[in-house]
Structure formats: C-alpha cells, structure tokens
Structure 1
Amino acid sequence: MIRFLLHAIINLVTVALGLLIASWLIPGVTLQPAGFTVAVLVFALAQGILGPFVFNVARQYASPILGGIGLVTTLIALFIASFFDGGLQIRGVSAWVLGTLIVWIVTALGGWILGAIFLKKRSEQRKA
C-alpha cells in the first residue's frame, strides 16, 4: 500500500513539474494558477487510465508503435486535461508536439529518478 502511495505521489509531482516546465518553455502552452491542481489531477488520472488501454489496443492492432505508448498516452491526457476551463490551454501544432515531448520526458525521467531514490530508501528502511 505504501509503495502504491509513493508511486502516486511521485506521479503527481512529476506531472506537475512537466506541465510547469512545458508552460514556461513553450509558447502556446498556458497553465493558469487557478486550474493548476485540476489540470495535474485530470492529466495524471487520464494517463493512468489510458496507459493500459492504449497499450492493449496497440499490442493488438499496431504492435510497431508499442515503443511510443508513453507519448500517445501523454498526448491524449494533455488533450483531456485541456478541456477543463481555467487550467491548461495548448494552442498550435508545435505547442502540442513540444508540450507532449517535454511532459513525457519529465514524467518518465522524474518517475525513474524519484522512484529509485524513494523506493531504495524505503527498501533500506525495511531491512533495518
């Protein structure tokens, strides 16, 4: 249970960082402070739900794109999160492409790095 909670917290933190970095670096990606929390929660929930679904569909119908599942789910989750007013807005094709790449990179690297740090500490605490 604690491991699941740590994964959920790490996911929320990396999503928040990814969205913030994308909004700072990419013209056309706007993140409103009033809707920041909603955008993060909707994105994380959409990505969590869509990941296995997109993987199964791709595995069944388009196995060559299995390596890009993270990018596809990130793009779809950004699309869903952008529907909620007062949070995330993305305008322009280049903003969609670059925003997807940046959020995907930050969430993937952040998940691996933070996961390794916190789960390693947790494992060491269990052994002690």
Structure 2
Amino acid sequence: MKTRLLRVLVYLASAAAGLILADLFVGGFRISWLNWWGFLVAIVVFAVVQSIATPVAIRVARRHAPLLLGGIGIIATFVSLLVVAVLPSAGVRITTVGAWFLAPLVVWIVSAIATWALTVVLIDRPARALSVRKR
C-alpha cells in the first residue's frame, strides 16, 4: 500500500515538473500562478487522463496502427494537455500553434525523466535496502 501511494505521488510530482518546465520554456504555454487551486486541478486531471489514455492508446495502436506504438507517450501527453487546456477550472492555457507542438514534447520528456528519477530514489533504492537488511 505504501508503494502504491508513493507511485501516485511520484506520478503527480512528475506531471507537475513537466507542466512547470513547459511554462518556463514554451512560449504560448501559461500557468496561472494566481490561481494555485486551478494548477493543482490541472496536475491531477493531467495525471489521471494520461494514466487512462496511455493504455487505451496502446490497445488501439496495437490493433490498428502498430507503427504508432513508439509514440504512445507523446500522444497520451498531447491528449492530457488538451483536456487540461479545455477545462475552465484548470490554470493552464495554450495559446499558440507552436506551443501545441512543443509543450507535449517538453512535458513528456520532463515527466518521463522525473518519474524515472523519483522512482529510483523513493521506491527502488529503499526497497533494495530493505531486502538487504532482511537477509
């Protein structure tokens, strides 16, 4: 149970990192920092939509377009950003065509790296240390 909760927190933190770095480096991608509650909604909605969109996209791609399997992460990120940008309560706005192309790439790369790093630090290393102590 503790590991599952840590995985959820890692996923939320990596989504937040991706969105924040997109805000910093992608013109036309804006987070409304005055509406901090909206940003929290955006993080949760983004993470939930991406966790649902990824397996669905994998199933569809396997069946209809196997060549797309390598790009599933970026496709799921784009869909998640689309949902977050459309929500009026989320504090994220994407206003340029260039941002629609660059933001999913930035968010996908940053969240993938953050997920990997946080998983190693918070879940894998402590689990290995615990198994070594049990021996």
Structure 2 length-normalised TM: 0.90
Partner of 1:42: 45
1:67-106 → structure 2 map (5 Å cutoff)? 67-86=70-89, 87-106=91-110
Cα distance, 1:2 vs structure 2: 1.8
Aligned residues: 128
Structure 1: unaligned runs, 5 residues or longer: none
Partner of 2:68: 65
Partner of 2:56: 53
Once residues 126 and 4 of structure 2 are traced to their aligned partners in structure 1, the CA distance between those partners, rounded to angstroms, is: 12
Partner of 1:120: 124
Cα distance, 1:108 vs structure 2: 0.6
CA RMSD of aligned residues (A): 1.2
Once residues 125 and 6 of structure 1 are traced to their aligned partners in structure 2, the CA distance between those partners, rounded to angstroms, is: 16
Deviating 4+ runs (over 4 angstroms): none
Structure 1 length-normalised TM: 0.94
Identical-residue share of aligned pairs (%): 34
Partner of 2:8: 8
> Rg larger in 1 or in 2?
2
